[in-house]
Amino acid sequence: MTIVAQLLVLILVIFSTLLVIGIPVTLASPGQWEKSKNLVYTGSGIWAGLVIITSIVNSFII
């Protein structure tokens, strides 16, 4: 169970890094917000889901 939690945290860190780089670039690019709006919202939803899943898995570890 510890390995699963560690893998979830690793995935969360990598995904967070991608979002920290990708979202400002998308917002700064002219005309890209309209094209990438759904991608940004989907990425944010996946990130929130990863946070919740990671916290649930972490609650089972003593």
Q: Global pTM?
A: 0.85
**pLDDT tens figures, 3-45:** 999 999 999 999 999 999 999 998 888 888 888 889 999 999 9
CATH code of 2-59, in short, is: 1.10.287.740
Contact 58, 5 (CB under 8 A): yes
Mean pLDDT of the chain: 92
Q: Cα separation of 32 and 57, whole Å?
A: 36
Specify the 3-state DSSP secondary structure of 25.
helix
Q: Cα separation of 58 and 38, whole Å?
A: 30
pLDDT score of 38: 92
Q: Cα separation of 29 and 45, whole Å?
A: 22
